[in-house]
Chains A and B, each alone.
Chain A
Amino acid sequence: MSELTLVLIRFGYLAILWIFVLSAISVIRTDMFGARAAREASRAQERRAAKAAGKTRTKPVKARRGDPTSVVILEGGNSGETVSLAAAPLLIGRGNDAAIRLDDDYVSTRHARIASSGEQWYVEDLGSTNGTYVGNSRITQATAISLGTQIRIGKTILELRK
């Protein structure tokens, strides 16, 4: 075995050892700043939101003049905010996954839901602590609402608008 071959083997082996060390470090690096991490997280979030939106999702009905198009918050911490009904059904609550997120201590995390069936809009309580009121009565089942009906949730009052 010539001297040169042995030197080559010697340096070749050290190179292999260091290639291994550096690859391990690069795997650690990509593990820390995994690009897919953000995407997977947002996908999980979307899945969560879709789940929260529930099973009553109906086919979007072609909007007609005179149909409600938005929800307006009239009173409470978020008064003045407007949320489009295009993304219905809308979850109302204090949680992060709510489409209408209310900053109100008397509102449950997942409080109520506004959904449509055909042309009719309904509000439905989701087992909230303090209840959902349409007019003066606490609702126990999905209740039909129309333009101008006031929905009270905690200290907040909402209403459908054109």
Chain B
Amino acid sequence: MSRTSPTPTRPRDPRPGPLMEFVHRRRRGAELFLLILSLVVGIGAYAAVGLGVDGSVPADIYKYGGWLTALIVAAHLTIRWKAAYADPILLPIVAALNGLGLAMIHRIDLGMQAKKPDYQALASSQLIWMTLGVALFIGVLVLLRDHRRLQAFTYTSGLAALVLLLLPMVPGIGRNIRGARIWIHLGPLSFQPGEVAKVLLVIAFAGYLVLYRDALALAGRRVLFVDLPRGRDLGPILAMWLISLGILVFQNDLGSSLLFFGMFLVMLYVATERPGWLVIGGLMFIAGAYFGYLTTGHVKVRVEAWLDPFNPDNNGYQIVQGMFGMAWGGLTGRGLGLGSPQDTPIASSDFIIPALGEELGLTGVIAIILLYGLLVERALRTALICRDNFGKLVATGLGVVFALQVFVVIGGVTKLIPLTGLTTPFLSQGGSSLVANWVIIALLLRISDQARRPPPEFLEPGEDMDSTQVVSMR
């Protein structure tokens, strides 16, 4: 009994716990390595385009490459400075996609200029938008120290999003371009406010659902293995459905309508864990889509072009050209600068994936889709490890925005679903979308920094065990 045991009876457990004890590393070196590779992807594409079109490396490659490098280095240094624990893969993926997109837009510019000498090049303005995007990215990371502060702006951002969505309907500044009324023009500047509304809506939904998820999740009754919510809880989903329908009917924008409703539905499902919402939302979506098909000519045209694009009566020229391009590209593509993607109308925005498919082939397009997959995976991973519910929902929502956009666009151009006008994130030409997407990445990095940062050194004792009972003294 009195023999001394060599060790304390309860040695400290050296194993880290399953998830809470897991300490993330900063991984900034890995990020830098991937960023260098992503610059090789972006600048290499620019050089290859020059070699393919003119047979020589473009003379301004130092200027272009230096500019791109400066932007990426600035973003990287900001992360080191302000968000040291942030996810190391998000920024390199975005840098690679953006560089590739810029090179492809430049390539389509060259092709168009060969056809029409007075064609206005889009790549340089896209580079300016990218600069603005990176500036906002840095601004968000520097000014927003904690994403939870955004929760205070739940209703403000919801209202701002509605105002932004209504702006294109205002007579003076709204503009109708290619059938969709989603643009505002202020002097020489044109802007798509829906892209900003996208970010604001995610914040508004997340703030709302954090507060009311219990009511939405717990009340209701069970019908045929599915928990259906109460009638009075249908308010928000009904409101969102009407807003989406309004965008479809009044602005003729099928893509945004689909994006907003889908995003809301997924966030509702994630917040409540109730598949009943997906059933209800799916039915409402089908009803809304059918209503849109019957009432707006816009949807009807798209569906007919999807079902029978080769019929000359249908408006399927763009889809057909895109598919011919992809078919000509085959498995390994024609080589950058050696295809003819400029033959597809508006190739540099909605149809940039067929253009890439033509010049990089299936091999290249699969790599791009994988990059998008990794981007969404990192967003959802951030949501999983995030410690607060608001951050979880915002990260999920932002990830779902990318996932839906990529699915809708790539599905549309490959004729899996009817074509709808949405931008391919970071690849497509389009300033508002690019800027908004850079802000989304900054928000995701901010949340992942909070989530991966090790918890404060000393957890309050007794947090994980029941409190000490008190001896009652008479």
Residues of A within 8 A of B (CB): 1, 5-7, 9-11, 13-14, 16-21, 23-25, 27-28, 30-31, 34, 36-38, 40-42, 44-49, 51, 69-70, 72, 78, 80-84, 86-87, 90, 93-101, 105-110, 128-130, 154, 161-162
How many Å from the CB of A27 to the closest CB on chain B?
A: 5
Smallest CB separation, A149 vs chain B (Å): 15
Contact B468 A106 (CB under 8 A): yes
B202 to A: closest C-beta gap in Å: 24
Query: From residue B386, how far is it (CB to closest CB) to chain A in Å?
Result: 16
Residues of A within 8 A of B45 (CB): 13
Contact B23 A51, beta carbon cutoff 8 Å: no
Contact B471 A130 (CB under 8 A): yes
B57 to chain A, nearest CB (A): 11
> With the chains together, A16 CA to B458 CA distance in Å?
45
Given known pairs A6-B338, A34-B25, the reply for A23 and B33 (CB within 8 Å) is: yes
The answer to whether A13 and B44 have CB atoms under 8 Å apart is yes
Q: Nearest CB to that of B363 among chain A residues? A: A14
- Number of B residues, CB within 8 Å of A: 65
Partner of A83, one of B9, B22, B88: B9
Asked if B361 is at the interface (CB within 8 A of a chain A CB), the reply is yes
Q: Say yes or no for B120: interface residue by CB 8 A criterion.
A: no
- Given known pairs A24-B34, A27-B27, A72-B1, the reply for A9 and B21 (CB within 8 Å) is no
How far is B7's CA from A10's CA once the two chains are assembled, in angstroms?
A: 65
B15 at the interface (CB under 8 A from A): yes
Cβ contact within 8 Å between A24 and B8: no
Which residues in B have some Cβ–Cβ distance to A below 8 Å? 1-10, 12-16, 21-25, 27, 30, 33-34, 37-38, 40-41, 44-45, 48, 51-52, 55, 88-89, 92-93, 96, 332-336, 338, 360-361, 363-364, 367, 370-371, 374, 377-378, 454, 457-458, 461-462, 465, 468-471
A16 to B271 CA separation, bound complex (whole angstroms): 40
Query: Shortest distance in angstroms between B455's beta carbon and chain A's nearest beta carbon?
Result: 9
Q: Which residues of B contact A20 (CB under 8 A)?
A: 34, 37-38, 40-41, 92, 96, 367
Q: A45-B12, A84-B5 are in contact. Are A14 and B364 (CB under 8 A)?
A: yes
CB of B151, distance to nearest CB on chain A (Å) = 28
A112 to B129, CA, bound (A): 63
Inter-subunit contact A129/B6 (CB<8 Å): no
CB of B48 within 8 A of CB of A21, answer no
Q: Would you give 14 A-B contacts (Cβ < 8 Å), ordered by A? A: A13-B44, A13-B45, A14-B332, A14-B364, A21-B371, A30-B30, A31-B27, A34-B25, A82-B3, A83-B5, A87-B8, A90-B8, A97-B12, A128-B468
A20-B96, A41-B21 known; 20 new pairs, CB 8 Å cut-off, are: A6-B338, A10-B332, A16-B41, A17-B41, A20-B34, A20-B40, A20-B367, A23-B33, A24-B89, A34-B25, A37-B16, A40-B25, A69-B4, A84-B6, A95-B465, A96-B12, A98-B10, A100-B10, A154-B471, A162-B2
B461 near A51 with CB under 8 A, answer no
Q: For B89, list chain A residues within 8 Å (CB).
A: 24, 27-28, 31
Q: Which A residues are in CB contact (< 8 Å) with B55?
A: 1
Chain B residues near A107 (CB, 8 Å)? 468
Q: Are B2 and A17 in contact (CB under 8 A)?
A: no
Distance, CA A17 to CA B34, complexed state (A): 12
Residues in B whose Cβ lies below 8 Å from that of A108? 468
Q: How far is the CA of A38 from the CA of B18 in the complex (A)?
A: 11
CB-CB under 8 A for A109 and B471, given A10-B335, A27-B88, A34-B25:
no
Among residues of A, the one whose C-beta sits closest to the C-beta of B371 is A21
**What residue of chain B has the Cβ atom nearest to residue A86's Cβ?**
B4
Q: Which residue of B lies closest to A8 (CB)?
A: B335
Inter-chain contacts of B457 with A (CB < 8 A): 44, 47-48, 51
Q: Within the assembled complex, what's the spacing in Å between the Cα atoms of A21 and B363?
A: 12
Decide if A110 touches B5 in the complex (CB within 8 Å). Answer: no
Q: Give the docked Cα–Cα distance between A80 and B5 (Å).
A: 12
Contacting pair A9 B13 (CB below 8 A): no
Q: Note all chain A residues with C-beta closer than 8 A to B360.
A: 13-14, 17
Contact of A94 among B93, B96, B465 (CB under 8 A): B465
Chain A residues with Cβ below 8 Å from B462 are 95, 109
Specify the chain A residue showing the minimal Cβ separation from B334. A10
Instruction: Kindly list chain A residues whose C-beta atoms are within 8 Å of the C-beta of B367.
Output: 14, 17-18, 20-21
Judging by beta carbons under 8 Å apart, are B14 and A42 in contact?
Answer: yes
Closest CB in chain A relative to B423 CB, distance in Å: 21
Query: Shortest beta-carbon distance, B147 to chain A, in Å?
Result: 21
Give Cα A37 to B21, complex, Å.
9
- Complex Cα spacing A20 to B332, Å: 17
Give A1 to B263 CA distance when docked, in angstroms: 49
Closest residue of A by beta carbon distance from B368: A17
B3 surroundings in chain A (CB, below 8 A): 82
Contacts of B363 in A (CB 8 A): 14, 18
User: Which residues of chain B have C-beta atoms less than 8 A from A98's C-beta?
Assistant: 10
Residues of chain B within 8 A of A99, CB atoms compared: 8, 10
CA gap between A33 and B461 in the complex, in Å: 28
**In the bound complex, CA of A109 to CA of B377 (Å):** 40
Give the shortest distance, in Å, between A106 (CB) and chain B (any CB).
Answer: 6
Q: How far is the CA of A100 from the CA of B11 in the complex (A)?
A: 9
Q: How many Å lie between the Cα of A149 and that of B374 in the bound state?
A: 64
A108, chain B: closest CB distance, angstroms: 5
Q: How far is the CB of A147 from chain B (nearest CB, A)?
A: 10
